[in-house]
Amino acid sequence: MAVPAKSFQSWRAAIAPGESNADLCRRTGIKRSTLAQQIVRGKVAEITVVRVARAYGRNPVEALSDFEEYSDLLSGPWRPTTAELVSQVSYVCILKMILARATQGGVESASGGEIAEFGHRNAIRSWFEAVDPGDLRQQLSAKTGVAPQNISAQLSAGRLAPELAVEAARLADVSLPGGLVAIGLVTPGEAGWPEGGQESALASLSDSELVLLARDRLDALGKAMRKLEHDDENELTLLEHLG
């Protein structure tokens, strides 16, 4: 979706009065040509808003809410569900938790070691599936006009447009900034996620739930690795045929 360039120009003038586009780019690290192209096209990417907000000491979620397209970001619940928190834990951390419980003899005494940083290889799909009531793709397609297969293709590629992530959160009735965390646009802290939330969410799962969760994550990883290996084999075969 992005935000209108006219709205962006008014917004950035308010938070950085007197600074030129060159000053803005120097402070944010955004290429001048990139910013110029976005303004000429009339659409400024959400990541540009986020980077400008951070550079000038603004919370990125609050900054995005200044634009009509994301005006409801601050409304509704901010606290993520347990399922959302767990969705952002990598399979490595889940396996560590299982091993810790097995070797330390009990749920209460086993923390599973330190939880890795938020985000993992399948973080976006995991989040989408965690909030999906069963027909989220169809609902999202009907609401946005994006075909279900295109939504699935984005998820398979490990990406999701910001407007789709937020709309999915609206439809699933969960914290709106949660989708932005999952796609990596904002950090958990910027979205108001509780410190240590992942650890608490993971610790709340029973042994059987942890094992089943690990099974599902490893199954998804195995499928992704098989696809990658298959693609590599096809590429090698093509190169051999080309001589």
Determine the average pLDDT of the residues in 15-43. 94
Among candidate residues 94, 93, 118, 138, the one with its CA nearest the CA of residue 178: 118
pLDDT higher than 70, residue 224: yes
Least confident of 20-24, 83-87, 217-221: 217-221
pLDDT at position 116: 53
pLDDT, mean over the chain: 88
pLDDT at position 104: 75
pLDDT higher than 50, residue 113: no
Residue extent(s) of CATH 1.10.260 domains in the chain: 3-70
pLDDT at position 118: 45
pLDDT higher than 90, residue 209: yes
pLDDT confidence band for 108 (50 / 70 / 90): very low
Among candidate residues 138, 139, 158, 159, the one with its CA nearest the CA of residue 149: 138
pLDDT higher than 70, residue 91: yes
DSSP string, 24-58: HHHHH---HHHHHHHHHHTEE-HHHHHHHHHHTT-
pLDDT higher than 50, residue 239: yes
pLDDT confidence band for 112 (50 / 70 / 90): very low
Handedness of CA 23, 29, 33, 38 (dihedral sign): negative
pLDDT confidence band for 231 (50 / 70 / 90): confident
pLDDT higher than 80, residue 119: no
pLDDT confidence band for 114 (50 / 70 / 90): low
Cα 211 to Cα 108, 130, 182: the distances in Å are 17, 17, 23
Determine the average pLDDT of the residues in 163-180. 94
pLDDT higher than 90, residue 51: yes
3-70 fold: 434 Repressor (Amino-terminal Domain) (1.10.260)
pLDDT at position 191: 93
pLDDT at position 235: 74
